[in-house]
Amino acid sequence: MLKIQDLQKNFGQKQVLFGVDFVAQPGRILGLIGKNGAGKTTIFHSILRFIDYSGQIQFDKEQVSQATYGRIGYLPEERSLMPKLTVYDQVRYLANLKGLSNSQVKERLQDWMDRLQVKGKLTDKIKSLSKGNQQKVQLITTLIHEPDLIILDEPFSGLDPVNTELLKQVILTEKERGATIIFSDHVMTNVEELCDDVVMIRDGKVVVNGPVQEVRNQYGKTRLFVSSRLSQAELEALPHVTKASLTKQGTWRLILDDETAGSQLFDLLTQGQYIATFDQQAPTIDEIFKLESGVEV
């Protein structure tokens, strides 16, 4: 378990983290979200002790130290492979730093290449690989030593949909293994699909924290998806409907000012007749992200 309490950080006269608190549990995935500059990478660097900070960060009740680095896997946002090394030499070098022997690297590496469908050989130089395959190799260096804490900073950046899905399955497998996983992403559908918990940072402060569904429910079931032949104006004239918009699926999305209005609207819209869609939901994580960022949705 990773526990962060009252994490604060200043760069010179500028304070960038203000009393950040959250817990990441083993066997669960936590999404750390926020706009660019919110403080996500600074939190990651604090966990890894790349920078000094005030507050308390403990992994399994111990301070992160050189002795515990072997239990951590970190995929940075900026890729940092050495282009002139071969795939094997690059992975071997970083895996050795995490405590794996050369024989262990040889035993595990080809399996990881196959799992991630890396297009390239162990003897190929990093610079000869596509950017997507370079990213896969960097992910291998993050996971090959079977870390207990996995930190992924924008892991899907630059990947096509097929490789994104491949990486998601790897992340879920690591969760099943019992690893504590934290990742950041600007695509909220990825966060909602993968994460058990979510923490949102705004201007260096935690503004959202909890299990994904509980966080959504805190905002009320104020989104209603319906199929209807009524016009937008007619729908917006219904009680407690503040906005109506047509989705790409051809249903209407109604925003309610009172989630308890659902039963009344059901009666008004159905008139005792069948309708194909009537689905009342809480806001998505994407909508909550925009709401907390001051964007109207």
Q: What is the pLDDT of residues 199-219, one digit of tens each?
A: 999 999 999 999 999 999 999
Pick the closest to residue 193 from 31, 22, 27 (CA basis): 31
In the chain, how many H helices and how many E strands? 10, 14
Same domain, 164 and 266: no
Helix (H) or strand (E) segment spanning residue 150 = strand 149-153
Q: Which two tokens stand for residue 268?
A: 């008004």
Pairing of strands 54-59, 2-11: antiparallel
Where residue 131 falls among pLDDT bands split at 50, 70, 90? confident
Domain membership flag for residue 286: no
Domain membership flag for residue 47: yes
pLDDT greater than 90 at residue 80: no
**Residue 34 CA: distances (Å) to CA of 3, 23, 52, 261:** 19, 17, 22, 32
How far apart CA 42 and CA 4 sit, in angstroms, is: 13
Same domain, 232 and 206: no
Same domain, 193 and 255: no
Where residue 257 falls among pLDDT bands split at 50, 70, 90? very high
Where residue 64 falls among pLDDT bands split at 50, 70, 90? confident
Q: Give the global pTM.
A: 0.90
Domain membership flag for residue 290: no
What's the pLDDT at 101?
94
Q: What is the dihedral sign for C-alpha 197, 64, 40, 175?
A: negative
How far apart CA 2 and CA 64 sit, in angstroms, is: 10
Q: Among 217, 237, 264, where does a domain finish?
A: 217
Where residue 15 falls among pLDDT bands split at 50, 70, 90? very high
pLDDT greater than 90 at residue 296: no
What's the pLDDT at 93?
94
Q: What is the pLDDT of residues 140-153, one digit of tens each?
A: 999 999 999 999 99
Q: Which residues have a Cβ under 8 Å from the Cβ of 283 and sit 6 or more positions away?
A: 216, 219, 222, 223, 291, 297
What's the pLDDT at 213?
94
Name the percent of the chain lying above pLDDT 70: 100
Same domain, 153 and 277: no
For the chain, the residue count is: 297
Would you say 30 and 196 are in contact if contact means Cβ atoms under 8 Å apart?
A: yes
Same domain, 197 and 251: no
What's the pLDDT at 78?
80
Domain membership flag for residue 71: yes
User: Which residue type is seen at 208?
Assistant: V
Where residue 277 falls among pLDDT bands split at 50, 70, 90? very high
Q: Among 217, 246, 265, where does a domain finish?
A: 217
Sheet strands (E) in the chain: 2-11, 14-24, 29-33, 54-59, 62-63, 72-75, 149-153, 180-184, 197-202, 205-211, 223-226, 241-246, 252-256, 278-281
Same domain, 271 and 234: yes
Average of per-residue pLDDT across 242-246:
95
What's the pLDDT at 19?
96
Same domain, 108 and 14: yes
Same domain, 36 and 181: yes
DSSP state of 283: P
Average of per-residue pLDDT across 223-237:
95
Q: Give the up-direction half-sphere exposure of residue 257: CA atoms within 13 A in the CB hemisphere.
A: 8
Q: Which domain holds residue 38?
A: 2-217
Q: What CATH number is associated with residue 224?
A: 3.30.70
Q: Is 210 left (phi over 0), alpha (psi -120 to 50) or beta?
A: left
How far apart CA 224 and CA 219 sit, in angstroms, is: 14
Pairing of strands 54-59, 62-63: antiparallel
Average of per-residue pLDDT across 50-70:
89
Average of per-residue pLDDT across 180-184:
96
Q: What CATH number is associated with residue 130?
A: 3.40.50.300
How far apart CA 291 and CA 272 sit, in angstroms, is: 35
User: If you search the block for the tokens 């992340």, which residue do you land on?
Assistant: 171
Whole-number mean pLDDT of the chain? Answer: 93
Same domain, 97 and 191: yes
Where residue 228 falls among pLDDT bands split at 50, 70, 90? very high
Same domain, 146 and 272: no
Same domain, 212 and 245: no
What's the pLDDT at 269?
95
What's the pLDDT at 62?
87
Number of domains in the chain: 2
